[in-house]
Chain A
């Protein structure tokens, strides 16, 4: 039996069982990972279409296709769905589920039933949130009081949905933390774990610690709307700024829930496609933890012009700059990993390079926003909109796309189509920059965000931005069509097409239900590329 492919063809895989129930009730972390991925992509497309409608409306000043109320509802849906339903679970629920047991040499997560339960809570919460589409909410995804208490639109379903999804997030986080502590294969000590695991671990810690705060905040908001208890509305004796503190106490750490897994993905991709060990392993690993912890202390940078005391603003500004340092260090480490490597520009690596470019812009424009004197001018303008799209889309979503290509052969057992994938990448990269670079410029010129109408002086940049969004949208469609086509028609993938040393690649593609025939014995880290001398 010298022909390896023959052997693989008869091996049972986790995809073999068919039928709706075999998926809906599965306890297999790999299947759950795929289910999250499909669900999240559906919501991503839906929210993406909302984003395109926003760009369509902004093509001309005044009314283009819809009235102001509809516009306000559409940008709210775009933001709320993208943040709470797509990017927060994002890479962690999808690839976290699929990869954690495979990477640490385990057969599944530690609580498979809880894992299934978390998935259905997530779907339930998302559906509750969608009930609000009957009379869509118009508060913006930040639900700022007192507007969110007074508006006639359906605030309750969506905030309650987010509340419910919070449980899914907490339970998944717990599951991952315990799994990583308890189920590592023999010999896999903390410093041999892949960096994706470190990132998933830090993310899980934030999920468990921060999510309860948003859950309580949203409950208070609901109580205020239903029973008229005055927590946040000054007309009832409440404090509207208090809501902002609560909200950002969760929603800033959430930025790291969204971005840390992306750091994990790129730390896996660059060594494989550069054939070099990751540079500064410990620096990357511990800086994730540092970011997770300091990230809890910077929420106030969203409130510099809300009416907070001057000295508080200074403390928050200082801490914000502090958190920038570990992030910068990571970028140097990834660059140093490429230095003198053997760089193979396959699609996942292209996304990784794209990420480094976009994330550099995200980080540097973050410097402007963290600087107190500049923040006053830029706060609530398009500069902020562009900045967080560079982090969320240029960062997290780009790495989600990278992961969808990189682990495609492992998940499906087929190869993705390289040529089309590269074309899609080019469209996405160009479209993205064309959409958001003009937004930096008009933000600097004073264009406020969440504006249905705008002064003619901003028209030119809005047109460029809308054209960019179209290119971006086409790129995403090409990418998805290519991947879906390859699920059915792709070439058969070998078990380790890119020559990775990580454990998920040491089993067959797609893996068997129990992941490994035998639990691996770990004797080294997973980045041992290159020639030792």
Chain B
């Protein structure tokens, strides 16, 4: 039974030691108490109406022992827990900072060189990373089970979290604090690269996927830029309208205006979603200004056109 997920950060192994310590103490008590329950229920079961029972109301030594032993144990657990917690909460001085913004229902990551991503957090293996986090709307919580870290994102305030990834690979990011309709869809991935690959990624001018045509690039962006969390491509309505057959569609906006979907409307919908809100939907789409380049918008439009 995999009681614990893989340990992929430097702190995870130490947290696991605490978990195992408490698990073992708990199991001992659990087995002991259950055994007493079962044994007593069988051994002392009523045999006749006039069974004799002792009038026993206290036993001082016993009571002292069963107070002191649990007291000592819980204090040991408390101290062990907070010593590890201390390290879990104290980022090393040389940690690389990445800014995180949570919004309903996606994660935005901003690097110091101006690069930014959505729902994908690229980090180098073996180097401490400090996330400086805030929220644009309601509470969220950044949670990576394999790293054993979690921290709420609070609007109007910065919170932080740090980790040092010790394994290359991809790990899930969950939103752990309830944030509305698509809370369970607010997922991301931490991608742990070797330091060299990370540098290459960070300095690369990431543009359209090399060698792909516009429609294919758009399809890739649809997932990568998290449109997929709110827009379907099969006609089913989600939080936002479906992309299926979107191009040329007649839409009624919230203010009653009738429009036909064209390139300019699509572009504006991505950069200034609040300017024209489709009737029957909440104005909750985040703006992608500064996150999605002009070329990427063209690719997305080409992709939407292809979804007849």
Stretch at the interface among B45-53, B192-200, B293-301: B45-53
Q: How far is the CB of A332 from chain B (nearest CB, A)?
A: 5
Task: Give the contacts of A368-390 with B (CB-CB under 8 A).
Answer: 368, 370-377, 379-381
Stretch at the interface among B144-152, B220-228, B250-258, B266-274: B144-152
Q: How far is the CB of B245 from chain A (nearest CB, A)?
A: 21
Query: In the assembled complex, which residues on chain A have CB atoms less than 8 Å from the CB atom of B74?
Result: 321-322, 324-325, 367
Q: Do A441 and B183 touch (CB < 8 A)?
A: no
User: Ordered nearest first, which 9 A-B pairs have the shortest CB separation?
Assistant: A234-B156, A446-B145, A371-B81, A342-B51, A372-B85, A373-B84, A451-B184, A530-B55, A364-B26
Q: Do B139 and A240 touch (CB < 8 A)?
A: yes
The reply to whether the CB of A283 lies closer than 8 angstroms to some CB of chain B is: yes
Q: Do A340 and B51 touch (CB < 8 A)?
A: no
Task: Name 9 interchain pairs, CB-CB below 8 A, sorted by A.
Answer: A146-B137, A239-B156, A329-B63, A357-B34, A365-B26, A374-B19, A377-B149, A380-B143, A530-B55
Q: Do B155 and A342 touch (CB < 8 A)?
A: no
Stretch at the interface among A46-54, A213-221, A306-314, A403-411: A306-314
Query: In the assembled complex, which residues on chain A have CB atoms less than 8 Å from the CB atom of B206?
Result: none
Query: In the assembled complex, which residues on chain B have CB atoms less than 8 Å from the CB atom of A30?
Result: none
Supply 4 further A-B pairs (C-beta < 8 A) apart from A377-B145, A449-B176. Answer: A336-B62, A373-B14, A373-B81, A531-B53
Query: In the assembled complex, which residues on chain A have CB atoms less than 8 Å from the CB atom of B3?
Result: 441, 444
Stretch at the interface among B65-73, B94-102, B115-123, B208-216: B65-73
| Residues of chain A whose beta carbon lies under 8 Å from any beta carbon of chain B | 68-69, 72, 138-140, 144, 146-147, 150-152, 234-235, 239-241, 274-281, 283, 305-307, 310, 313-314, 317-318, 321-322, 324-325, 328-329, 331-332, 335-336, 338-345, 353, 356-357, 360-361, 364-365, 367-368, 370-377, 379-381, 441, 444-446, 448-455, 527-533
The reply to whether the CB of B80 lies closer than 8 angstroms to some CB of chain A is: yes
- CB-based A-B contact count at 8 angstroms: 266
Max count, chain B CB within 10 A of own CB: residue among A138, A305, A338, A533? A305
Query: In the assembled complex, which residues on chain B have CB atoms less than 8 Å from the CB atom of A332?
Result: 63, 66
Task: Give the contacts of B1-46 with A (CB-CB under 8 A).
Answer: 1-5, 14-15, 18-19, 22-23, 25-26, 29-30, 33-34, 36-37, 40-41, 44-46
Docked Cα-Cα span, A307 to B102, in Å, equals 15
Given A144-B139, A356-B33, A448-B143, are A371 and B78 also a contact pair (CB < 8 Å)? Answer: yes
Checking A138, A275, A454, A528 against B184 with a beta-carbon cut-off of 8 angstroms, the contacting residue is A454
Given A235-B155, A376-B85, are A445 and B5 also a contact pair (CB < 8 Å)? Answer: yes
Query: In the assembled complex, which residues on chain B have CB atoms less than 8 Å from the CB atom of A313?
Result: 82, 85
Query: Which residue of chain B is the closest to A146 with respect to CB atoms?
Result: B138
Q: Do A371 and B182 touch (CB < 8 A)?
A: no
Docked Cα-Cα span, A452 to B4, in Å, equals 23
Given A151-B180, A374-B18, A450-B183, are A367 and B33 also a contact pair (CB < 8 Å)? Answer: no
Query: Which residue of chain A is the closest to B53 with respect to CB atoms?
Result: A530
Q: Do A367 and B54 touch (CB < 8 A)?
A: no
Q: How far is the CB of A358 from chain B (nearest CB, A)?
A: 11
Checking B15, B56, B75, B139 against A276 with a beta-carbon cut-off of 8 angstroms, the contacting residue is B56
Query: In the assembled complex, which residues on chain B have CB atoms less than 8 Å from the CB atom of A527?
Result: 57
Max count, chain B CB within 10 A of own CB: residue among A147, A152, A445, A454? A147
Q: Do B150 and A305 touch (CB < 8 A)?
A: yes
Q: Do B44 and A338 touch (CB < 8 A)?
A: yes
Q: How far is the CB of B227 from chain A (nearest CB, A)?
A: 17
Query: Which residue of chain B is the closest to A499 with respect to CB atoms?
Result: B49
Q: How far is the CB of A422 from chain B (nearest CB, A)?
A: 14
Query: In the assembled complex, which residues on chain B have CB atoms less than 8 Å from the CB atom of A324?
Result: 70, 74
Docked Cα-Cα span, A322 to B30, in Å, equals 20
Q: Do A276 and B54 touch (CB < 8 A)?
A: yes
Interface 1/0 per residue, B172-211 and A, CB below 8 Å = 1011111111111100000000000000000000000000
Given A138-B180, A234-B155, A364-B30, are A377 and B55 also a contact pair (CB < 8 Å)? Answer: no
Q: How far is the CB of B211 from chain A (nearest CB, A)?
A: 31
Query: In the assembled complex, which residues on chain A have CB atoms less than 8 Å from the CB atom of B51?
Result: 275, 342
Q: Do A379 and B150 touch (CB < 8 A)?
A: yes
Q: Do B88 and A528 touch (CB < 8 A)?
A: no
Query: Which residue of chain B is the closest to A238 with respect to CB atoms?
Result: B156
